[in-house]
């Protein structure tokens, strides 16, 4: 315990602080994701293409 604070109180505070950073986390994720996709595509992964999951299922059924 930290200064007599219970573990559940400490966990609740940590969770609340984590959630309060949503205004930082969401824009950061939106800014970083396209760059990550570009790098991963460069490695040969076929992600983020038009058609999404439905196209992937069709492609898998055809055996492409």
Token representation of residue 33: 């994701």
Q: 4 in a domain, yes or no? A: no
Give the pLDDT of residue 55. Answer: 74
Each residue's pLDDT tens digit, 39-51? 998 998 888 766 6
Count of domains for the chain: 1
What 3-state class would DSSP assign to 23? Answer: helix
Q: 3 in a domain, yes or no? A: no
Among residues 47, 30, 28, 50, which one has the least CA distance to residue 38? 47
Each residue's pLDDT tens digit, 3-40? 667 999 999 999 999 999 999 999 999 999 999 999 99
Print the domain residue range for 30. 22-62
Q: 7 in a domain, yes or no? A: no
Q: Is 1 a residue whose pLDDT tops 60?
A: no
Q: 54 in a domain, yes or no? A: yes
Token representation of residue 26: 């969401």
Q: 44 in a domain, yes or no? A: yes
Q: 14 in a domain, yes or no? A: no
């Amino acid at each position: 315990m930290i200064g007599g604070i219970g573990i559940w109180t400490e966990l609740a505070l940590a969770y609340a602080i984590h959630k309060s950073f949503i205004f930082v986390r969401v824009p950061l994720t939106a800014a970083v994701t396209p760059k990550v996709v570009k790098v991963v595509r460069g490695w040969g992964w076929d992600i983020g293409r038009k058609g999404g999951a439905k196209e992937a299922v069709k492609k898998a059924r055809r055996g492409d």
